[in-house]
């Protein structure tokens, strides 16, 4: 969390929260959703400004109810999720491939899931900012970076790459099997998409 954001929270602690105006799409893009987009269930406009994207990524957090938000100075802007709170990309480096999220967090995977629509989800540990409202005496202590077990939808551009790593078996409504990552064999299990939010404790459409 940026220092300037924490300072603005101390100066203006009672700014109303914002819902519905910012979304994270299935390709890890932030989208602005004005009233017209919200009323007509449109995806909204992709934010192209690099500095703004980076600002959102640095100040992206989750509260104890599983609601993800962008702390925009003193105002908390809750995020509508088209899929999961994190979107994963396979990024090559000098030694091996790594998974990164839309916020540039590294994912340390321990398994993957496949749903009825052929989507792949990476499950693993991510360092993320958690908001703890119980620590009312210390604003800095309310925003803590913790290693947590999380889920990330794999970007569709990386599905072919993932298929090269996987050995599949057909299940009733999806696929299972295993996949190899950095020399380790990891499980690939089926799941229904409607189970994701409950199992991984996030709200796709946060409410006040």
Q: Does the pLDDT at position 72 exceed 80?
A: yes
Check residue 188 and give its pLDDT.
Answer: 94
Q: What are phi and psi of 118, to 5 degrees?
A: 85, 5
Q: Does the pLDDT at position 94 exceed 80?
A: no
Cα angle 66-71-73, degrees, rounded to a multiple of 5: 160
**Predicted confidence band of residue 10 (pLDDT cuts 50, 70, 90):** confident
Residue with tokens 């360092």: 127
Q: Are 43 and 37 in contact (CB under 8 A)?
A: yes
Question: What's the token pair of residue 6?
Answer: 């924490």
Q: Count the Cβ atoms, other than its own, within 10 Å of residue 175.
A: 18
**Predicted confidence band of residue 86 (pLDDT cuts 50, 70, 90):** very high
Check residue 141 and give its pLDDT.
Answer: 59
């Amino acid at each position: 969390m940026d220092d300037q954001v924490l300072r603005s929270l101390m100066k203006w602690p009672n700014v109303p929260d914002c819902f519905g105006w910012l979304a994270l799409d299935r390709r890890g893009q932030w989208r602005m959703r004005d009233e017209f987009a919200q009323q007509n269930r449109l995806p909204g406009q992709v934010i192209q400004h690099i500095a703004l994207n980076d600002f959102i990524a640095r100040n992206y957090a989750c509260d104890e109810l599983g609601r993800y938000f962008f702390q925009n100075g003193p105002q908390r802007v809750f995020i509508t999720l088209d899929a999961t709170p994190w979107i994963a990309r396979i990024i090559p480096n000098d030694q091996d491939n790594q998974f990164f999220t839309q916020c540039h967090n590294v994912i340390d995977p321990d398994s993957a899931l496949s749903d009825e629509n052929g989507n792949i989800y990476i499950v693993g540990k991510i360092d993320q900012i958690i908001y703890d409202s119980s620590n009312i005496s210390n604003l800095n202590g309310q925003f803590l970076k913790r290693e947590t077990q999380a889920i990330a939808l794999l970007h569709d551009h990386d599905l072919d790459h993932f298929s090269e790593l996987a050995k599949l078996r057909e299940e009733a409504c999806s696929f299972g099997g295993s996949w190899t990552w950095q020399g380790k064999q990891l499980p690939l299990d089926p799941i229904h998409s409607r189970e994701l939010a409950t199992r991984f404790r996030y709200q796709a459409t946060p409410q006040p």
